[in-house]
Amino acid sequence: MTRQLFYWTAIFTLTLAFTSCNGQVKTDFPKDKQITGGQSKIIKNNFFPDLAEEFKFVQCGLQDKKKNMWFGTAGNGIYVFDGNSFVNFTHKSFVNFSLKEDLNHNDILCCMEDKNSNIWFGTRNGLIRYKPSKDKAEGNDFTLFLIPQNTISGSNRTRLPYTFQSGDNLVWSIMQDKSGKIWFGTSKGIYIHDPSADNDQDGPLFRRFFDSNSLINNKNLQLIDISVMLQDKNGNVWLASAWHKGEGIVRYDGKSLVNFTPDSTYSFRSIIERKNGDLLFLSPFNGLYSYDPSAELRTGSKTFSNLNEKIGIKSDTLISMIEDKNGNLWFGPISDNIKNGGDGGLRHFDGKSLKLFTTKDGLSHNHVMCMIEDKDGNIWFGTRNTGLCRYDGKTFIDYSDK
């Protein structure tokens, strides 16, 4: 527990250090910030010479509709891989930059491709939207936004005047619901953008989730720093924060908010819906919990089951997970020895037994921050030290610059 709290405290400290104070809502992505030419591996930058390399990650990713792979990093911006080479898009200056020249950020916290093939990136300084215009991404395909924010009085729900606070535009998570609305989990709560109703030439319109007068929020939940969001097949939206001051698992059914804290657990890092309909919730402190929505419909029981013992995993080391197309579960840990790969390693559970993969097997680092399965069934693992590798079911291919 102490080690985990130290980890999240360190990340929060970096958050404050990297956040800028700009107030402009929209600007074009600076064309001179594009690194072109393409490389066969990720080439690391040195934007933060005082920040140890082990605190830089490949921490989010996706495969777009054209089968390009996109990766967001902590400290090295955005990489796109077309199957042959990587192109890196970055922000080069964090000192004395002007509103007209620099609004991007090299710490990319999350990403999501919407139904219109736009890709959204959440950063520590607002949003980046990539709108493809050609086969290959270019700098002028990116547009930057800050979310204009207000605070809402918890007592009378009145809108208060906006005042800047450090961390206002940290965007931790992005999700598009079945109706097409895009949700953004930020350091100041959840905002929603409806692309179908957007006719504003100055950029997307954002609505604060709590502005809805019909919302039932009996426990006065704040939904601050929501780091993971998922809408299940029944239309329920599930929300959680990875921070140790989170509000547990929160479910929104379209009308009301209800939160759950199994085993008094308030922090969750990942949510997935399995092919069988079960929901899995991963806590960086207490491990893996399962929830069966069909059981609730049958019996009314809202029971979360801890699966640590059944699977054979430790309760306080896991930070990422996916279910692959074959129904296997993958778990990524936080490593004790962050500099040299440590005692972590990737866990693979086939329903019967747990298998461990480490750097000895070709994993780029034993601390795995994110996982993405591509359309061909390969699984990509983003790790510490800006590490990236791909597993084809037999071997790991390393795409990291050593």
- pLDDT tens-digit readout, 90-141: 886 444 333 333 336 888 999 999 999 999 999 988 899 999 988 888 877 8
The whole-number average pLDDT for the span 299-313 is 85
Selection from 87, 2, 14 nearest residue 57 by Cα? 14
Q: Are 354 and 312 in contact (CB under 8 A)?
A: yes
- Long-range contact set of residues 138-142: C-beta below 8 Å, sequence gap at least 24: 138/34, 139/29, 139/30, 139/31, 139/32, 139/33, 139/34, 139/89, 140/28, 140/29, 140/31, 141/29, 142/28, 142/29, 142/89, 142/104
Confidence of residue 298 (pLDDT cuts 50, 70, 90): low
pLDDT of residue 26: 38
Mean pLDDT estimate for the chain: 80
- Spell out the SS3 assignment of 214-254: CCECCCCCCCCCCCEEEECCCCCEEEECCCCCCCCEEEECC
pLDDT tens digits along 256-297: 999 999 999 999 999 999 999 999 999 988 999 999 987 776
Read off the DSSP letter of residue 298: H
Burial profile 157-194: b = 16 or more Cβ within 10 angstroms, e = fewer = eeeeeeeeeebbbbbbbbbbeeeeebbbbbbbbbbbbe
pLDDT of residue 52: 65
The whole-number average pLDDT for the span 218-244 is 93
Read off the DSSP letter of residue 384: B
Q: Are 62 and 72 in contact (CB under 8 A)?
A: no
